[in-house]
Chains A and B, each alone.
Chain A
C-alpha cells in the first residue's frame, strides 16, 4: 500500500489537484448559455456543481421510489388475483356505463364552452399539461420544495404553473433534464396574484415562514369574509387566470404590517400530501380576437375603478359639473349658478347670485351697520 502511494505519488497529487480545481470551477461556473436557453426564458443561476449533483442523485431517488412502489404492487397484485375474475365482470359493466356518461359529459362541456364564449367570459384554457410524480422533498424544513420526475426533456420549463385537479399547488423553480423543482405555494418565497371570486377584490398571495398561505396586501374591508373563494388573477404571468386556489380561512389585522390585514387561505389542494401533479405547459385563449379585446377592455375599466386612489378621490371636494356642493356637505344654498343674473355673455358663472330673503334683519342687512363712533376698530361688526 505504502509502495503504491509513494510510487504514484506524483500522479495522485496531480489527479487530486485537477479534481479540486474541477470542483472549484464547477462551483463558480454557471450552466452554459445555450443550455439555459432551452430550459427557460430567464438567466438560470444554477451552478454546474448543483446541476451535476442533482443529475447524479435523482436516478437513485427514482429507482428507490419505483422499487418500493413495485414491491407493493407485486404483493397487492398477488392478493388481488384471487378476486380478479369476479371483478373483471363487474368492471366491464362499469366501463360500458362510463362510456355512455363520457359521451354525455363531452356534450355538456362543449355546451359550457359555447355559453362562456357567449358571455365573453375571458379565460385562458389550459391546452397542455404534463403529469408528473413527486419523487422527493428538499429535505429542509424551511423551504417547501418538491422534486418531480419530469424535466426539460418532457417539455417542462421554469415558472410553469403546477396544479392538481383540486387547485393550484405551486410553480416550477429549477428544471433539469429529467427532474424539476416544484416550489409550493406555501414557501416563503412564493407569491401569486389572486382575485376574491365574488367581490373581485385583487390580492397578492404569499407563503409564510410557517407554511401557511396568506393575502397580506389588502386593507380592512367589510366585504372580505371567511369562506370566500380565491382564484388566480393571471396578472402575475405565472398562473393562468381563473384557477381555484382555496377559500378564506380567517381574516385578522396584521400587527406587523399596520394598515393591512392578514387573510389566511385554506388551499384547495393538499400541499402536505402531494403525489401526482399536473404541470401546465401550454395555455390558449379559445375566444375570438374581438371578444377577447372586449373582455380585456371591460377588465381594464373594472380595475381602474377599483384602485384605492379612486375610491378615496370621490370623498374629496371637486368642482365637478353637478352635485359638487353635495360632496362638500354644504346645504346647497351657496349661490347656485342657475340663479345668476346679468352675467358677461359667453363667460360662465359671471353673473350676480340671487340672495335668499331673511326672516329678520341681521348685521349683514343694509342699514344695520352701527356708526363708527359706536365701534372699536377691528372689533365685532355689531355691538353685542
Chain B
C-alpha cells in the first residue's frame, strides 16, 4: 500500500494532464472516424450493401434460327442447362470440391484449374463449371442447394446443327468468344463468356442472330439464397434468318460430293442467290457448340484435307480449262478469235518451248475449240492476245478478286499479270508465262465461287452478280450496308459482250456436253445443259503409274441451264478427281435435281411413265478418248500445259 501511494505521488500533474489530452485526442479521432463511416459515407455503403443484396442474373437471349429459302429449318436451338460456380459468398470452397466433383462428374483438378484460371477475375463473376449438364447432374445441384449454395444453374438455348456436317461450312458454328477476339474492334460490345458466331453465316450475321441478353435482379440473403425478384429485363430473341439455300439442291450436292474431296456451289445467276454450297471433307459443328474435345480438334486440325476449310470460297487452285471460257470471251471481244484457225498436232512450240495438248484435234476454230478443250488453240490465242489483255478480261469478270459473298474468309485467287508478278514474285513477266495462263494453268488460281460467278455472268451476256446467302428484305438497310462494306468484292457488274459473241460462247459451252465435247458423258437427256470442264494439273505435276493420289489432277466443271441467261449455275471442284467430265457428272446431279424440281412444280413431269432403261439414254458414248474413267485407270497420254 505504501509503495502504491508513493508511486502515485511520483506522477506529476503535468504528466497526468498530458495523458488526459492524449486519451481525448484518441477518442476524438475515433469519433471522427465513426462519423465519417456512419454519416458521410452512409450513401456509399448503402449502395455497396444493396449491391451485395441484389444480384444480376443474366437471361440469355435465344439465338435466331436458320431456315432455307422455303422456310424449312436448318439450325435450331434446344434448351440446355449450364452450371456456374459463384465465388463471392463461399470461402470454404476447397472443402466442397470433392462433393461437387462427384456430383457433376468433373475431376477435382479440373475445377481447381478453372478456379486458377479465373483467380484474377472479379469475384462477382461466376465461373462456368460445366455446360449442357444432364438431368441427373441438375437434380444433384438442386438437391444439394443448402450445402452447395455456390453452384448456380443457368438455362440456355444451345445451338443444334444438322448431323453429318450437312451444310456445315456455309452455316458455320458458334463458340465462346476468345480473348484475342475481345481485343478486336468489331467485338467491342461483347464481354467474356459471350457466345459468338465463329464462321459461315453464324459469323457474318452474328449481330442479327444473337439478340440482346436480358437480366433478372434477384434479391439474395446473406447466405446467397434467392429470396425474391426485384425486376427483370426481358431478353430480345435473335432474329430468325432465311437463307437462299434450297435444301433439296443442298441435299443433291451433299450426296454428289459424298466420299470425295472438293466443293460444289450452286447459284442463281439472275440474283446471285446461293442455292447450295458444299465442301468436303466436312466437320460436325455440334462438336463446337459444347466444349470441344481435344481429340476431335486434333483429328480435324491434322487432317491434310482441311475439313474446316470452306473450299467453295477458299480453295485457290488452278482453274484449268474452265478458264478457256474467259479466254474465248477475250478473243472474241478483241476480234482475234473469230477467224482464227489452228491445226492441233498434240501441241505447239512457243518461244522455244513445246506446250502439249492432250490429243491431236486437227483443224480447230472458235466453234470447236471450247468443246474440244483444245490447248493448242488457246496457247495460240493467249500468245496473240498478250497477258495484259487476258488479265484485263480476267479482272473484268472478277478473277483475282473476292466476289463479295456475305460469308467470311473468302479468298481472292490469282489473275496473273505483269504488275502482279513484279509485286508478288519480284520477277519480270516472260512471254512464255502467258501461254500457260491461256489454259488456266501456270500462275492462274481461282475459287469455285469465282468461276461460278464469272462463267454464269458471261453466259448471261455480261451481267455479273454478287453472290449472297441471305434472302433479301430480312435485315435493315444499315445492316445490309454494313454487310456489304465488310464483305467487299467484285460484286454486281456489267461487262459489254456483243450479241454475236454471246451467242457463240454459249453455244460453244452447250457443245461441251454434246457428243463432240469433253463432257459428252455428262449429257443430261432433255436438259439444255451447258458448261466447261477443267482438268487442272496439281503443282507437283502428274506422275505415271503412281498410287499417290495427290498427283492426280483436280477435276473442275462449271455447268448451267439453260445455256443463255441461265437459271442455275453449278461449279464443282473435285480434288484429284482426274477428268473434268467426272466433275461434270456431279454437277449434272445438282442440275437434274433443280430442273426436276422446277418441272415438278410446273406439273411438267411424266411421273408414271417408267423411264426406259436404255444404257446411254439415247446418247452415243464419248468417242474422243478411250475413257479412263477410273481414278486408278490408265494414265493420260500427254501432260497438258505446265
Contacts and interface: CB of A to CB of B under 8 A. Distances in A.
A349 B259 contact: yes
Interface string A343-363: 111111111111111111011
Interface string B141-165: 1111111000000010010111110
A193 B79 contact: no
Given A333-B600, A357-B611, A237 B527 contact: no
Given A236-B136, A334-B596, A347-B631, A315 B73 contact: yes
A4 interface: no
Contact of B139 (A191, A357, A365): A191
Interface string A329-346: 111011101001111111
Given A364-B598, A379-B565, A316 B163 contact: yes
A165 to B, nearest CB: 22
A119 to B, nearest CB: 23
Nearest to B458: A377
Prevailing SS type, chain B contact patch:
mixed
Given A188-B225, A205-B142, A349-B259, A381 B630 contact: no
A330 B611 contact: no
A378 B460 contact: yes
A372 interface: yes
A245 interface: no
A204 B562 contact: no
A191 B142 contact: yes
Contact of B164 (A189, A233, A320, A360): A320
A304 B164 CA distance: 18
B259 A328 contact: no
A158 interface: yes
Task: Bin chain B's interface residue count.
Answer: 35 or more
B166 A382 contact: no
Contact of B73 (A257, A316, A342, A355): A316
A237 B104 CA distance: 11
B526 A357 contact: yes
B143 A239 contact: yes
A206 B590 CA distance: 54
Contact of B143 (A41, A236, A260, A317): A236
Contacts of B102: 237
A317 B497 contact: no
B582 A355 contact: no
Contact of A377 (B146, B147, B462): B462
Interface in B64-87: 72-81
Contacts of B256: 349
B143 A171 contact: yes
A312 B157 CA distance: 12
A236 B563 CA distance: 66
Contacts of B232: 256
A210 B255 CA distance: 58
A238 B143 contact: yes
Contacts of A194: 139
B611 A353 contact: no
A190 interface: yes
Contacts of B595: 355, 364
Contact of A313 (B160, B225, B252, B257): B160
Given A204-B135, A315-B76, A372-B499, A348 B162 contact: no
Interface string A302-322: 010000110111011111100
B242 interface: no
A319 B164 contact: yes
Contacts of A356: 596, 599, 605-607, 611
Interface of A: 41-43, 45, 142, 158-159, 171, 173, 183, 188-194, 202-206, 209, 217, 219, 233, 235-239, 256-257, 259-260, 303, 308-309, 311-313, 315-320, 324-325, 328-331, 333-335, 337, 340-360, 362-373, 375-382
Given A219-B79, A316-B73, 4 more contacts: A193-B142, A204-B142, A356-B606, A357-B606
20 contacts: A42-B95, A191-B142, A233-B136, A237-B144, A303-B135, A309-B160, A317-B72, A317-B162, A328-B247, A330-B251, A331-B600, A333-B597, A335-B593, A350-B586, A352-B524, A352-B589, A356-B596, A369-B562, A372-B500, A377-B460
Interface of B: 72-81, 92, 95-96, 98-99, 102-103, 134-147, 155, 158, 160-164, 166-167, 225-229, 232, 247-252, 254-260, 269-270, 460-463, 465, 494, 497, 499-500, 502-503, 506, 510, 521-522, 524-528, 561-567, 578, 582, 585-586, 588-590, 592-593, 595-600, 602-607, 609, 611, 615, 617, 629-631
